[in-house]
Amino acid sequence: MSRLARQPYLPALLNASGLGEDDRFHPSTVNLRSKNLSLSFLQMFATPQAVAAGLRQAGYATDPVLVQIIWLATKMEKPVLIEGPPGTGKTYLAQAFAAAAKTELIRLQCFEGISEKQAIGSFDEALQRLFLETQAEMADRQWEKLRLKLHTLDFFTRGPLLQALLEPRPVVLLIDELDKVDQKFEALLLEILSDWQITVPKLGTVKARTIPFVVMTSNQERRLGDPLRRRSLYQRIEHPDVKKEAEILDIRTTEAPLELKAQAVGLAQALRGYNLVKPPSIDEIVQFVRALQLLGKSEIRPEDRDVLLPFLAKTEEDVKRLLLRDGFSSLVATAHEYRDQALAVMAGASVMAIEASA
Q: Name the CA dihedral angle for 292, 293, 296, 300, rounded to a multiple of 10 degrees.
A: 30
pLDDT digits (tens, 9 = 90+) for 267-279: 999 999 888 999 9
Counting Cβ atoms within 10 Å, is residue 19 exposed (0-12), middle (13-18) or buried (19+)?
buried
**What is the average per-residue pLDDT within 218-230?**
95
Nearest-angstrom CA–CA distance, 271 and 348: 25
Q: How many other CB atoms are found less than 10 A from the CB of residue 147?
A: 12
Residue 253: pLDDT over 60: yes
Yes or no: say if 224 and 305 are a contact pair by the CB < 8 Å rule: no
Yes or no: say if 248 and 61 are a contact pair by the CB < 8 Å rule: yes
Nearest-angstrom CA–CA distance, 83 and 68: 17
At 157 the pLDDT is 93
H/E element, 330: helix 327-357
* 138 — pLDDT class (breaks 50, 70, 90): low
Nearest-angstrom CA–CA distance, 207 and 124: 20
What is the separation of C-alpha 8 from the centre of its chain, rounded to a whole number of angstroms? 27
Which range in 123-127, 135-139, 225-229 is most confidently predicted, on average pLDDT? 225-229
Nearest-angstrom CA–CA distance, 273 and 267: 10
**What is the average per-residue pLDDT within 219-237?**
96
Beta bridge partners of 109: 176
* Percent of the chain's residues with pLDDT above 70: 84
Nearest-angstrom CA–CA distance, 216 and 228: 10
Yes or no: say if 82 and 232 are a contact pair by the CB < 8 Å rule: no
Nearest-angstrom CA–CA distance, 79 and 99: 18
What type of residue sits at position 61?
A
More confident call, 146 vs 156: 156
Backbone φ and ψ for 295, nearest 5 degrees, come out as -80, -5
Yes or no: say if 93 and 233 are a contact pair by the CB < 8 Å rule: no
At 12 the pLDDT is 37
**What is the average per-residue pLDDT within 233-245?**
95
pTM (whole model) above 0.85: no
At 264 the pLDDT is 94
More confident call, 16 vs 289: 289
Nearest-angstrom CA–CA distance, 77 and 95: 18
Where would I find the beta strands (DSSP E) of the chain? Answer: 29-31, 80-83, 105-109, 121-123, 156-158, 172-176, 197-200, 204-207, 213-218, 233-236
